[in-house]
Amino acid sequence: MPELPEVETVKLALMPALQGRAVLSAFVGRKDLRWPLPENLAERLTGRQFTRLARRGKYVMMMLDNGEVLLLHLGMSGSIRIHKDKPTLGKHDHFMLEMAPADDQGGVSYVVLNDPRRFGWIDLFAESVMAEHKLLAGMGPEPLGNEFSGAHLQAVFKGRTGSVKNALLNQQLVAGIGNIYASEALFYARISPRRKAGAIRGQRAARLANSIVTVLRAAIEDGGTSLRDHVQPGGEIGYFVQRLAVYGRAGKPCPVCATPIKTLIQSGRSSFYCSRCQG
């Protein structure tokens, strides 16, 4: 599933294609993806203009000139593609926006959502109720925002007996982190994924917070991580996969000490770590 860097990459690519532009037409190919889509979605979008784009956790939010928000979640296999010419839609192309030129410059562009497994979702709702939205309410701070720090991790991890790896995946504690970047951040912080979250205090919490920020920023610069389904809206892959230190590298040498990378299953998900560096 796309994590914060992949979603941020999509948002940044969508900004010139959508921001300040009007929707000439919208295509909705089915009534549902993971959940039912909003009724009359195509009609409600046609003629509207996108004023700005933002990201919250793993969601892209596109604000419209009528006070509504178009929310996009890519799910497990969803991807966005931007076309200069009208594309021939395939079986798994479920949603398309035909966008007017920006300030009468350039040509019409087309934004297409492809989602073979249909675990993604689109919603359209009033921006005034965004904080109460069922997917956004209670979400923790952005790890690249001013509210995030080692002190924050220490506070939200306090008293938790579960593993720090699982705590990092809890979107109510920290927004946007998934399996890939939790494993990578723990490696660079020299913390075992087995360690209890409540034991992450002081300098250990500071190291982990710094590692999270560093890893996420590096991944955004590289366009995210392409493992199975993620491609950038222009068709490029995410090159951070070439810089992964532990994720997906079981049995391969640790980039620091050459000890073979190990893996274990935590809450049904694979964790990758170096038993020596993260002892």
Indicate if 3 belongs to the active site. Answer: yes
Please pick, among 11, 58, 207, 262, the residue that the annotation labels catalytic. Answer: 58
Contacts by 206-212, CB closer than 8 A, 24 or more apart? 206/149, 206/150, 207/150, 208/150, 208/153, 208/164, 209/143, 209/148, 209/149, 209/150, 209/152, 209/153, 210/150, 211/184, 211/185, 211/186, 211/187, 212/143, 212/148, 212/168, 212/174, 212/177, 212/181, 212/185
Whole-number pLDDT of residue 229: 46
Residue type, 105: Q
Query: 179 to each of 164, 170, 255, 273, how far by Cα in Å?
Result: 12, 11, 19, 12
Query: Which spans in the chain are helix H?
Result: 4-18, 41-45, 150-157, 164-168, 179-188, 202-221
Please pick, among 2, 5, 143, 193, the residue that the annotation labels catalytic. Answer: 2
Please pick, among 195, 201, 269, 276, the residue that the annotation labels catalytic. Answer: 269
Domains of the chain by start residue, with CATH: 4-132 (3.20.190.10), 150-243 (1.10.8.50)
| List of residues 6+ apart from 150 with CB closer than 8 A | 202, 205, 206, 207, 208, 209, 210
Between β-strands 121-126 and 68-73, what pairing exists: parallel, antiparallel or unpaired? Answer: antiparallel
Indicate if 58 belongs to the active site. Answer: yes
pTM: 0.91
Alpha carbon distance 56, 127 (integer Å): 13
CA quadruple 269, 197, 182, 185: dihedral sign? negative
Indicate if 11 belongs to the active site. Answer: no
Q: Please count the CA atoms within 13 angstroms of the CA of 88 that sit on its side-chain side.
A: 0
Please pick, among 3, 6, 8, 68, the residue that the annotation labels catalytic. Answer: 3
Indicate if 132 belongs to the active site. Answer: no
Q: pLDDT tens, position by position, for the chain (279 residues)?
A: 789 999 999 999 899 999 999 999 999 999 999 999 999 999 999 999 999 999 999 999 999 999 999 999 998 888 899 999 999 999 999 999 999 997 766 788 999 999 999 999 999 999 999 999 999 999 999 999 999 999 999 999 999 999 999 999 999 999 999 999 999 999 999 999 999 999 999 999 999 999 999 999 999 988 776 444 445 555 554 556 778 999 999 999 999 999 999 999 999 999 999 999 997
